[in-house]
């Protein structure tokens, strides 16, 4: 569509973030220019600076929003059952949430290097907070005697790496439903930690 000058603040703002998200995920932060983002939105490059002070802030906002959304969603989802039930819920939640947001997940893992040191620390703190949620479940299950994990911190990292890995190969058009994938991973997680 042919575009002319005008005010579209409420529409353009989210579209800038969406375009940045898609392009950063596909080509990488450093490989994407502000002109490419502008072209995707349908404005000129200069207009982007009405919505972000610079390119770095665009990346940081995307990552912070993702991590905060993840933590909020988990807070809403987690329950008070026994450790096994909590672990089952974490595993299934993690898979669903990540499969539904492939671009956000991708940049949040791949573009950490491109954050300024201050921004990096803030994102890392959020990630650490999320990891600690799983670690607490493992430690509680250990105390209850239902889990047998030699090193809760290491097992936390191993489980998160495993379940996050679905995002690298899962395709919606493939042969498996999300539920089938959740079942397979839950079986592995459960066996890996059970006493």
Can you give the binding site for DNA, defined by CB under 7 A? Answer: 3, 5-9, 11-12, 32-36, 38, 42-47, 49-51, 53-56
Using CA atoms, how far apart are residues 109 and 97, in angstroms rounded to an integer?
A: 15
Question: Could you say whether residue 151 binds a second copy (CB under 8 A)?
Answer: yes
Least distance between DNA and beta carbon 49 (Å): 4
Closer of 21 and 43 to a second copy (Cβ): 21
Closer of 53 and 145 to DNA (Cβ): 53
Judged by DSSP in three states, 147 sits in strand
Least distance between a second copy and beta carbon 18 (Å): 19
Using CA atoms, how far apart are residues 177 and 105, in angstroms rounded to an integer?
A: 19
- Binding window for a second copy (CB under 8 A); candidates: 15-23, 25-33, 39-47, 76-84: 25-33
Question: Could you say whether residue 162 binds a second copy (CB under 8 A)?
Answer: yes
Of all helices (H) and strands (E), which one includes residue 27?
A: helix 9-27
Question: Could you say whether residue 188 binds a second copy (CB under 8 A)?
Answer: yes
Which residues in the 62-121 window bind a second copy by CB under 8 A?
A: 110, 113-114
Least distance between DNA and beta carbon 9 (Å): 3
Using CA atoms, how far apart are residues 89 and 77, in angstroms rounded to an integer?
A: 8
Residue whose pair of structure tokens reads 């026994």 in the numeric block: 82
Least distance between DNA and beta carbon 12 (Å): 4
Residue 155 has a CB neighbour count (10 Å cut-off) of 20
Least distance between a second copy and beta carbon 183 (Å): 8
User: Which is nearest to 37 in space by CA: 105, 2, 54, 7?
Assistant: 54
Residue whose pair of structure tokens reads 């988990």 in the numeric block: 74
Question: Could you say whether residue 181 binds a second copy (CB under 8 A)?
Answer: yes
* Residue 73 binds: one of DNA, a second copy, none (C-beta under 5 to 8 A by kind): none
Question: Could you say whether residue 11 binds a second copy (CB under 8 A)?
Answer: no
- The 8 Å CB, 24+ separation contacts for 149-155 are 149/193, 155/192, 155/193
């Amino acid at each position: 569509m042919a575009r002319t000058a005008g005010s579209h603040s409420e529409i353009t703002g989210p579209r800038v973030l969406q375009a940045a998200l898609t392009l950063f995920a596909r080509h990488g932060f450093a490989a994407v220019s502000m002109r490419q983002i502008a072209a995707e939105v349908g404005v000129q490059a200069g207009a982007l600076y009405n919505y972000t002070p610079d390119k770095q802030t665009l990346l940081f906002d995307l990552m912070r929003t993702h991590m905060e959304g993840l933590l909020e969603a988990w807070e809403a989802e987690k329950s008070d059952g026994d450790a096994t039930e909590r672990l089952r819920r974490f595993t299934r939640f993690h898979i669903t949430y990540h499969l539904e947001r492939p671009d956000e997940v991708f940049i949040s893992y791949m573009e950490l290097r491109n954050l300024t040191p201050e921004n990096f620390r803030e994102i890392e703190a959020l990630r650490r907070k999320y990891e600690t949620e799983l670690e607490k479940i493992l430690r509680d299950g250990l105390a209850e005697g239902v889990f047998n994990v030699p090193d809760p911190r290491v097992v936390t990292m191993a489980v998160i790496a495993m379940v996050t890995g679905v995002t690298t190969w899962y395709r919606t058009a493939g042969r498996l439903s999300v539920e089938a994938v959740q079942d397979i991973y839950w079986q592995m997680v459960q066996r890996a930690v059970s006493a």
